[in-house]
Amino acid sequence: MIKKILFNFIVLFSLGDLQAQITITSNNMPVSGDTCRYSSARLSSIGNYTATGANYFWDFSTLDSTGQGIRKFVPSTATPYSLFFFGKYGEKTMDSLPIPAIPLGSYNLTFKNIYSFYKKNGTSSFNAVGQGQTISGIPLGITATTSNEDKLYQFPLQYLNRDSSTFFFTTPTLTVVPFNYKKHGYRITEVDGWGTITTPYGTDSCIRVVTTQYSTDTIRINALPAGFDRIGFPNYVRSYQWLSLNEKIPFYEVTGNLIAGGFVPTQARYRDRIRYWVGINEEEKNLLAISIFPNPSNNELHIITQQHNQPINIQIMDIQGKILMQNVLHTNTQIVNKHTIDISDLAGGMYILNLSIANQQQSIKFSKQ
C-alpha cells in the first residue's frame, strides 16, 4: 500500500513538472551539425490539430507513421551554395521543386537540389536567410539582405506572443543567368497555447505555435518580351507546431496550404527515434546477414552473410539516426561468409547495423557493452 501511494505521488509530481509553462529561446533552435530524426504521419491520423489553449493536453498518441526521415543541418561548405551562404548552415529540403507548367518554348526551366539556410540572429530571432537552388543546371543562392531575412521565430517565444515580419529574397543579377527569381511576402507567428503533448515518441511540455507565410514567387525570363517575361504565383503556407525545450525541431507539426481562405494539410511529422529494423530471427528468404554475434558485443562484431555477387554496404547508427561508421563487405562469394568489424571506438549503448545492396536492405539492432 505504501509503495502504491509513493508511486502515485511520483506520477502526480512528474505531471506537475510537465504542465509548467515553458519559454523557447534561441538556445532551443538547431545548429550546424545537428541531426534530428522524424516520422511522417498519415494525414487521416493527424488528430485535432486546431484545438489549443492554456495548460492544454494534446493527445496525438494514435499517429500512424508512414515512414521516417532525418533533418541534417550542415555547414554551407558541405552544399553547392557556399559562395552565397558562407558562414551559414542549412538543410536539404527537396530534391526538386514542383512548379506550374511554364510555356517557355524550347527553354527547360527546372528547380533542383533545394536547400534552406538559417542563422541565429543573436538571441533575438531564428532567421531563414535564403534558399539554394540549382535552377536549370546553375547553382544559385536566393538571398536576402539582413533587414529582409525571414524571421521564423522571434524570441522569447511565450504564450500569447504575436509577431510579424516581412522578407524579400532574390537571385543575383548576372548576365550569364538568363532569368531572375524573387520571393517576397510576410510572416505572422502566434503562440496560441501551452501545455503537454503526447505522440508515439513520448510526452513533453510544449508551446503551440501557428506560423503563416504569405508570399509571392516571381520568375522573370530575360529572353521573353516585356509584358510576357514575368510569371508570378502565390505561396500561402501555414504550419501548426508544438515546440519543446530539447528536441531542436518541432515535437509535432502539421503543414499545409491556404486555399480560398481554408487550410488544407499536406504534411504531418513528429520527432521520433528509429523504429524500423529487421530482426535476425525473422524468416526471410533473402536476408543479407544471417546473424551477428556476439550481441551484446565488446570490441568486435561478427557478421555472417549469405552468398552475394556484389559488395554489401554497411552503416552503424545510434538510435537517433546519426551515422557513426561506414564500411563495405567485399567478399561474399562463399555460401556462408564471416566478416569482423572493429567497434572498440563505440561507446556502450544501443546501435543499428544497416546492410544494403542496390535493391535490398536490412537493419539489425545490437548493443555494445
Mean pLDDT score, 30-34: 96
Instruction: Return d(Cα 369, Cα 366) in angstroms, integer.
Output: 10
C-alpha 74, offset from chain centre: 12
Is residue 7 scored above 90 in pLDDT?
no
Is residue 34 scored above 90 in pLDDT?
yes
Instruction: Return d(Cα 128, Cα 119) in angstroms, integer.
Output: 7
Instruction: Return d(Cα 323, Cα 315) in angstroms, integer.
Output: 7
153: which 3 cell numbers?
Answer: 521565430
218: which 3 cell numbers?
Answer: 516571381
125-129, 172-176, 187-191, 202-206 — which is least confidently predicted? 172-176
- The answer to whether 101 and 109 are in contact (CB under 8 A) is no
Tell me the sheet residues that pair with 216: 184, 234
Class of domain 289-368: mainly beta
Q: Which residues contact 262 (CB under 8 A, 6 or more apart)?
A: none
Instruction: State the chain's mean pLDDT as an integer.
Output: 83
Predicted pLDDT of residue 288:
78
- The answer to whether 240 and 208 are in contact (CB under 8 A) is yes
Torsion of CA 272, 274, 279, 285, to 10 degrees: 110
Confidence of residue 105 (pLDDT cuts 50, 70, 90): low
Q: Which residue has the higher pLDDT, 285 or 45?
A: 45
- The answer to whether 98 and 133 are in contact (CB under 8 A) is no
Handedness of CA 220, 224, 80, 115 (dihedral sign): positive
**296-335 residue pLDDT tens:** 888 888 888 877 777 888 888 887 777 888 888 887 777 6
Instruction: Return d(Cα 211, Cα 182) in angstroms, integer.
Output: 21
- The answer to whether 49 and 240 are in contact (CB under 8 A) is yes
Cell 507539426 found at: 253
Sequence letter at residue 65: S
Backbone angles phi, psi at 308, to 5 degrees: -140, 150
pTM, two decimal places? 0.69
Omega within 30 of 0 (cis) for the link into 296: yes
Domain ranges (residues) in the chain: 20-271, 289-368
Nearest CA among 180, 199, 259, 236 for reference residue 59: 199
Q: What percent of the chain has pLDDT over 70?
A: 83
Predicted pLDDT of residue 19:
60
| 103, burial (CB in 10 Å: exposed 0-12, middle 13-18, buried 19+) | exposed
Residue 52 CB coordination number (10 Å): 19
Predicted pLDDT of residue 286:
56
